[in-house]
Amino acid sequence: MKQKHGKICYNVFKAGGGYAAVAAGSRGIEFFCLPQKSRRSACAKVEKYFKGAVKQEKGIDELEALCCVLSGYFETGTGDFSGVKTYLPGFTGFEKRVLAAVKKIPAGEVRTYGWIASAAGAAGAARAAGNALNKNPVPVLIPCHRVVKSSGDTGGFSEGIKWKKRLIEIEKIKGPEAAGERKKNGCKKKKNTV
């Protein structure tokens, strides 16, 4: 999926006990690297995905704001990424519809691969939906970890099952009913938004 990109800038920031990175071009966020053990590892993941990416130390307020919200997400399991503009060149129309459907899954809830395929206009194409999610370059922003098998099993994840389970635990997702339970208990946390 090597595509020509314009200038790509990225920030590395502390998150989840390590270092994460987010990369953007002029059209939006194009890549998010889940926390790595070292700053160097996070940089290497971005630079492998984008040859010639430029590391930003300061200067792009929107990128810095997103880094802060993402960092907070790994501490609290909350964050509103609905307004984050992503740019995903090289994806087919079906793949874009799959990712758009996944972006609408509320925090604390899950959907099945079959449900996502239907929402993308291709009922019965659960495997194809899973393949589209495996290409997602912006996990968390497009929360593909919230998609599970119809059996209730976790299913796959591009960064490995351990990461998917960790993200589910961070959000305290227990099943499709989890979000409803949170609403009932009356807890109001400070909204973590970009």
Give catalytic status of residue 187 as yes or no: no
Structure token pair of residue 167: 């993200």
Q: Which of these is catalytic: 9, 33, 43, 144?
A: 144
d(CA 193, CA 45): 26
Structure token pair of residue 31: 């890549």
Rounded (10°) angle between helices 126-134 and 93-103:
80
d(CA 178, CA 47): 37
- Say if strands 9-15 and 54-55 run parallel, antiparallel, or are unpaired: parallel
The residues, ordered by sequence, that sit 6+ positions from 18 with a Cβ below 8 Å of its Cβ are: 35, 36, 37, 38, 42
d(CA 43, CA 72): 20
Q: 11 and 71 in contact (C-beta within 8 Å)?
A: no
Q: Hey, which residues are catalytic here?
A: 144
